[in-house]
Amino acid sequence: MSNIRTVLFDLDGTLADTAPDMAHALNELLKEEQRQPLPYEIIRPEVSHGAGALVKLGFGVTLGDKDFERLRQRFLTLYSENLCRHTRPFAGIEPLLQTLQQKHINWGVVTNKPAFLTDPLVASLKLAPAPVCVVSGDTTANRKPHPEPMLLACTQAGSQPRECLYVGDAERDIQAGKHAGMKTLVALFGYISKDETPRNWGADGMIRTPLEILDWLTGDE
pLDDT reported for residue 1: 56
Q: Are 217 and 188 in contact (CB under 8 A)?
A: no
Distance between CA atoms of residues 169 and 32, nearest Å: 31
Active site residues: 10, 12
Asked which of 46-50, 91-95, 176-180 is least confident by mean pLDDT, the reply is 46-50
94: left (phi over 0), alpha (psi -120 to 50) or beta: alpha
What does the alpha-carbon distance between residue 19 and residue 21 come to, in Å, rounded to a whole number?
Answer: 6
127: number of CA atoms within 13 Å, CB side? Answer: 33
pLDDT given at position 111: 98
pLDDT digits (tens, 9 = 90+) for 77-127: 999 999 999 999 999 999 999 999 999 999 999 999 999 999 999 999 999
8 Å CB contact between 152 and 176: no
Chain CA centroid to CA 23, Å: 15
Please give the mean pLDDT across all residues of the chain: 96
Structure confidence by residue, pLDDT tens digits, 197-221? 999 999 999 999 999 999 999 874 4
Side-chain-side CA neighbours of residue 17 (13 Å): 14
pLDDT value at residue 154: 97
Neighbours of 154 (CB within 10 A): 27
Instruction: Let me know how many helices (H) and strands (E) the chain has, helices first.
Output: 9, 8
What is the side-by-side order of every strand in the sheet holding 164-168? 133-135, 106-110, 6-9, 164-168, 183-187, 205-207
pLDDT of 36 reads 97
Asked whether 125 and 16 are in contact (CB, 8 A), the reply is yes
Q: Where are the alpha helices (H) located in the chain, listed in sequence order?
A: 19-32, 40-43, 50-59, 68-81, 93-102, 115-125, 148-157, 171-180, 212-218
pLDDT of residue 218: 87
Query: Do the strands 16-17 and 88-89 form a parallel or antiparallel pair, or are they unpaired?
Result: antiparallel
pLDDT of residue 147 exceeding 60: yes
Predicted pLDDT at 221: 42
Beta bridge partners of 183: 165
Measure the CA–CA gap between 193 and 191, rounded to whole angstroms: 7
Segment 8-30, tens digit of pLDDT: 999 999 999 999 999 999 999 99
Task: Please compute the mean of the pLDDT values over residues 30-49 and round it to a whole number.
Answer: 97
The pLDDT > 70 percentage for the chain reads 98
Cα–chain-centroid distance for residue 92? 16
